[in-house]
Structure 1
Amino acid sequence: MIRRAAMPAFLAAVALTLTAGCSGGGTAAKPGEPVPVDDRQSPAAVKGETLEGEQLDLASYDGKVVVVNFWASWCGPCRAEAPALEATYQENKDEVAFLGVDIKDTRDGAKAFVRKYGNSYPSLFDPEGKITQSFSSVNPGALPTTLILDREGRVAVQFPGMVSKARLDPALAKIVAER
């Protein structure tokens, strides 16, 4: 009897914990909406090895708007959004940089994902989630998550969950238009 009576409270506590863990993080704006400039935060130093084994430093994109997508080959929504991300990259690559961060994955799985979905922008390989921790102020640990960084490298927009081209394109245009 006591166990049965405690079950609703236990389930409520679990639901609250899961909701907090999957929230959009610490941005001061609704998902997909620009964060007010004064509230934007820069991630810690972000650098690592790409899927191809080359070193890449986010600082090399200084002065450019950057779309950062956190993904994994085993993530269904990541697979679903991959074509939209590639299409947006192809349309904007002269003005906007794209960077994937493959987390908690195998290199072989990640490379197969890139081949299958044709992603032509680089992805950092982050099997232990260390690079992801550099963005802890916005909690991109839930997959997928897509961020738009402004020209100063600050998180300007966050999309927790799967992003569509219809949502990404206008948000990206707003940040590109900032000077």
Structure 2
Amino acid sequence: MSGRRRYAGPVAAFVVLLLAACGGSPVGPATSASGPAEETRGPAGTAHVLEQRRAAGIADCPTSDADVPARADGLPDLTLDCLGADSRVRLAGLRGQPLVINVWAQWCGPCRAEAPFLTEAATRAGDRVGFLGIDYDDPKPELAVEFAQQAGWRYPQLVDPDKSIGPDLRIIGPPQTILVDADGRIAYRHPGQVTSTDQLLELIDKHLGVAL
């Protein structure tokens, strides 16, 4: 792992600077580390949110197979909106590429802390491993776009404001990172915060067989 150690310095500096700038939260405004503030939920996708997402350079969501049978050891057979609601994705139909799926929310302090590590790992992965975010239990999609933009995330983002994936994926709260192989099998679940880029790259190597 000696070739990966060079990430530790810049990442640490990035987190320290953001902590100083945001009063303890590396990315964007926060309301709570344990749950969203009491807000009136709006629709997950409005024209404004979609416009924000595209301006932020966040990619369109991937296509998914509507007909492939769901796997018992794979993602739940649920369909989620893309952030901005311009498309929908069937989770069980995501096949053909190893995936890192990160469940997060803009109100989640640990999600902010791990954000730069996801950014660096996604950049390192290129097209060898796909990255996909799920904005979970989040009443403010416009703040989610701001979060993703500030974090430097350019990979696609889904929304799950109603916590529909929670029971199947045993999610108590964000963050959680799920590694899925190209055949749709869940290879590993990492509950809680990813603490470094190296840690995430090691998990990808170990569980997806892709050395980055």
Q: TM-score, normalised by structure 1?
A: 0.69
| Unmatched tracts of structure 2, length 5 or more | 1-71
Contact 2:75–2:92 at 8 Å: present in 1 too? no
Distance across 2 between alignment mates of 1:56 and 1:92: 24
> Is 1:117 equivalent to 2:151 in the alignment?
yes
CA deviation vs aligned residue, 1:45-78 (integer Å, no higher than 9, x gap): 2432121322242456412111010000010000
Shift of 1:143: 1.3
Name the CA shift for 1:56/1:66 in 2 (closer, same or farther; >3 Å): farther
Distance across 1 between alignment mates of 2:126 and 2:83: 20
Percentage identity across aligned positions? Answer: 34
Number of residue pairs the alignment of both structures matches: 136
Aligned-pair Cα RMSD in Å: 1.9
3-state SS of the aligned residue for 1:54? coil
Aligned to 2:113: 80
Distance across 1 between alignment mates of 2:177 and 2:191: 7
Structure 1 segments, 4+ long, off by >3 Å, are 58-61
- If you compute each CA radius of gyration, which structure gives the higher value, 1 or 2? 1
Shift of 1:174: 2.4
Aligned to 1:43: 75
In structure 1, give the amino acid aligned to 2:187: A
Distance across 1 between alignment mates of 2:94 and 2:122: 15
Aligned to 1:21: none
2:85 to 27, 46, 53: 53
CA deviation vs aligned residue, 1:75-128 (integer Å, no higher than 9, x gap): 000001111001101111311111101011111121111121111111111111
Aligned to 2:189: 158
Contact 1:71–1:103 at 8 Å: present in 2 too? yes
3-state SS of the aligned residue for 2:155? coil
Distance across 2 between alignment mates of 1:165 and 1:56: 30
> Is 1:129 equivalent to 2:163 in the alignment?
yes
Shift of 1:167: 1.5
In structure 2, give the amino acid aligned to 1:66: L
Contact 2:104–2:135 at 8 Å: present in 1 too? yes
3-state SS of the aligned residue for 2:148? helix
CA deviation vs aligned residue, 1:17-36 (integer Å, no higher than 9, x gap): xxxxxxxxxxxxxxxxxxxx
2:124 to 80, 85, 91: 91
Aligned to 1:167: 199
Q: Which has the higher contact order (CA 8 A, sep 6+)?
A: 1
Contact 1:81–1:162 at 8 Å: present in 2 too? yes
